[in-house]
A = this chain, B = another copy of it.
Amino acid sequence: MPLSPDQQADIDAARAATQQTRRATAPGLEEELFTAHEVLDHGFVRVVDYMGDDSAIVQAARVSYGAGTRHVSNDEGLIRYLMRHWHSTPFEMCEIKLHVKLPVFVARQWIRHRTANVNEYSARYSILDREFYVPAPDALAAQSTTNNQGRGDVLQGEEAERVLRYLREDSTRAYDHYEEMLSQDGQQGLARELARMNLPANIYTQWYWKTDLHNLFHFLRLRADSHAQYEIRVYAELISDLVAKWVPLAHKAFEDYRLGGANLSAKGVECIRRMLKGEDVTQETSGMSKGEWREFVNILDGADV
């Protein structure tokens, strides 16, 4: 359970209070504001604030293109046009702020998206809580035999048990020692900024994370993808659902053009042209490497790529 009763009471109180505003308001997201959506065993995502909605994207685009946008008759068509043609600046006019609780090894991947604002809980100043991510049995995957960064089958039996035992015991012991090293009971107590180094990467941290919609879509494209590590993908998928409630038209265009779409190389486009003319193109005649060809065929077959 990620929240204490006190924290839940604070959230309930925040949700109960409303103010009048002249700003653009997204009713679907208002409904979700402050609620902690659980992710993994101790994590959560909460929407803390947002700016703009679908109409804010349209409004910004119409400022840019002036009378030139009048021929696109409706908001949905204009948003799809912007997405299709990589006109990213109107999407930057929307902003969202999330409160996220997540394991450190997930945070380390996440932070590589540099175009966001972050305030992370500091283990120099304060003491971390005793909360560690331990995978559910069905997430305990073997190393893929074909993909250096992929997962294979779920571990079973003794092997699975031993992994779970190690993860639990090592984090428990590490945290016990963290507390002992920090303790000022009969001793000086090690500096927090040093003691933290004993903690493993499955400990939970938390942060406020704020980004604009364009960069959020980029994050979601990479992290809600089937190749992303499961432990970050569950966060991305939850956020994607929240974005659908916030800017439904933009989210739908994103799904069509980014998440569900495909990038073809010049060679790939050429192969399709030849195939549509009836030619039987093979890897050998495609000009592609084996890896490229395999990915290309997967696109055409509808396999997960």
Kindly state whether residue A246 has any CB partner on chain B within 8 Å.
Answer: no
Residues A197 and B200 in contact, CB atoms below 8 Å apart: yes
> 0/1 per residue, A21-39, Cβ < 8 Å to B?
1111100001001100000
Cα distance, A171 to B174, chains bound together (Å): 9
State the number of copies, please.
4
Residues A125 and B49 in contact, CB atoms below 8 Å apart: no
Kindly state whether residue A285 has any CB partner on chain B within 8 Å.
Answer: no
Q: Which of B68, B180, B276 contacts A276 (CB 8 A)?
A: B276
Residues B256 and A267 in contact, CB atoms below 8 Å apart: yes
Q: Which of B30, B202, B300 contacts A21 (CB 8 A)?
A: B30
Q: Look across to chain B and name the residue whose beta carbon is closest to the beta carbon of A111.
A: B111
Kindly state whether residue A104 has any CB partner on chain B within 8 Å.
Answer: yes
Interface size of A in residues (CB-CB distance below 8 Å)? 136
Residues A122 and B68 in contact, CB atoms below 8 Å apart: yes
Residues of chain B contacted by A171 (CB below 8 angstroms)? 198
Q: What's the least CB distance linking A275 to chain B, in Å?
A: 6
Q: What's the least CB distance linking A111 to chain B, in Å?
A: 6
Q: Look across to chain B and name the residue whose beta carbon is closest to the beta carbon of A106.
A: B197
Asked if A292 meets B111 with Cβ closer than 8 Å, knowing A20-B19, A23-B33, A93-B210, the reply is: no
**Which of A1-9, A50-58, A237-245 contacts its partner?**
A50-58
Q: What's the least CB distance linking A131 to chain B, in Å?
A: 13
Chain A interface (Cβ < 8 Å from any Cβ of B): 14-15, 17-25, 30, 33-34, 49-52, 56, 59-61, 63-69, 71, 77, 80-81, 84, 86, 89-90, 92-93, 95, 97, 99, 103-105, 108, 111-112, 114-115, 117-122, 124-127, 133, 135, 140-144, 148-153, 155, 159, 162-163, 166-167, 170-171, 173-174, 177, 180-182, 184, 187-194, 196-202, 206-208, 210, 212, 222, 229, 255-257, 259-269, 272-273, 275-276, 289, 291-292, 295, 299-302
The 7 closest A-B pairs by CB, nearest first: A260-B266, A66-B126, A68-B125, A142-B188, A68-B148, A92-B117, A197-B202
Q: A114-B114, A126-B148, A197-B202 are in contact. List 15 more A-B contacts (CB 8 A).
A: A52-B97, A59-B208, A66-B125, A67-B126, A69-B125, A93-B119, A111-B111, A124-B148, A140-B190, A142-B188, A151-B191, A159-B187, A255-B266, A260-B266, A272-B272
